[in-house]
């Protein structure tokens, strides 16, 4: 398989999340597997559970990250967040990039599920492409409100190049 590049915006977001070797991370919307590849490369005893509603996203992630699946470091499933079953208080981090669920519709149930499953001290890292600046205030406002309502402490980070906004909810 040809070496695939990791987009700068994904690299920046994963770097900011500060993956630790023993983290247990949920990735929501794994798509082509770029973030999964980068996250898994930093894990040793930790694990990544990557989900996507799309069969093609799951297939692409499995192919791209086959060595991590075979090593037991990565599990990939076709499922949406609302029906996900993860043991309570198991996750250290949750990662998502351009998952519109958090700002385009009601997501209280999904965010409550995350709050139940993220360990105290852990965090939810939700990143969005900020190349359309007129959308950024709405993204930040709605995503922050959803996380805060579930009990997360909120911080917002912005990167100009590449244009990324991150809403981080700490437990």
Q: What is the pLDDT of residues 33-84, one digit of tens each?
A: 999 999 999 999 999 999 999 999 999 999 999 999 999 999 999 998 988 8
**Boundaries of domain holding 87:** 8-170
Distance between CA atoms of 93 and 149, rounded to whole angstroms? 18
The pLDDT tens digits for 77-132 are 999 898 887 765 689 999 999 999 999 989 999 999 999 999 999 999 999 999 99
Do the domain assignments include residue 1? no
Q: Are 28 and 51 in contact (CB under 8 A)?
A: yes
Q: What is the pLDDT of residue 67?
A: 97
Residues facing 97 on adjacent strands: 127
Pick the closest to residue 96 from 57, 149, 145 (CA basis).
57
Do the domain assignments include residue 93? yes
Confidence of residue 3 (pLDDT cuts 50, 70, 90): low
Do the domain assignments include residue 94? yes
Residue with tokens 């470091």: 73
Do the domain assignments include residue 59? yes
Do the domain assignments include residue 57? yes
What CATH number is attached to the domain comprising 125? 3.40.50.150
Do the domain assignments include residue 12? yes
Paired tokens of 68: 């991590």
Q: What is the pLDDT of residue 87?
A: 62
**pLDDT at residue 29 is higher than 90:** yes
Q: What is the pLDDT of residue 126?
A: 98
Paired tokens of 125: 């890292």
Domains: count for the chain: 1
Do the domain assignments include residue 96? yes
Torsion sign across C-alpha atoms 147, 33, 52, 120: negative
Distance between CA atoms of 61 and 71, rounded to whole angstroms? 15
Do the domain assignments include residue 27? yes
The DSSP H or E segment spanning 129 is strand 118-129
Q: What is the pLDDT of residue 83?
A: 85
């Amino acid at each position: 398989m040809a070496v695939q590049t990791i987009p700068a915006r994904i690299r920046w977001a994963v770097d900011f999340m500060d993956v630790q070797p023993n983290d247990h991370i949920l990735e929501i919307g794994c798509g082509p597997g770029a973030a999964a590849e980068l996250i898994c490369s930093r894990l040793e005893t930790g694990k990544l559970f990557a989900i996507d509603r799309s069969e093609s996203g799951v297939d692409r992630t499995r192919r791209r990250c086959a060595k991590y699946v075979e090593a037991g470091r990565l599990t990939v499933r076709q499922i949406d967040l609302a029906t996900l079953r993860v043991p309570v208080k198991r996750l250290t981090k949750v990662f998502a990039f351009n998952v519109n669920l958090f700002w385009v519709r009601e997501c209280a149930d999904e965010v409550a599920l995350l709050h139940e499953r993220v360990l105290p001290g852990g965090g939810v890292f939700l990143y969005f492409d900020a190349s359309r600046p007129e959308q950024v205030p709405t993204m930040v406002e709605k995503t922050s409100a959803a996380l805060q309502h579930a009990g997360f402490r909120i911080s917002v980070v912005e990167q100009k190049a590449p244009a990324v906004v991150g809403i981080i909810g700490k437990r």
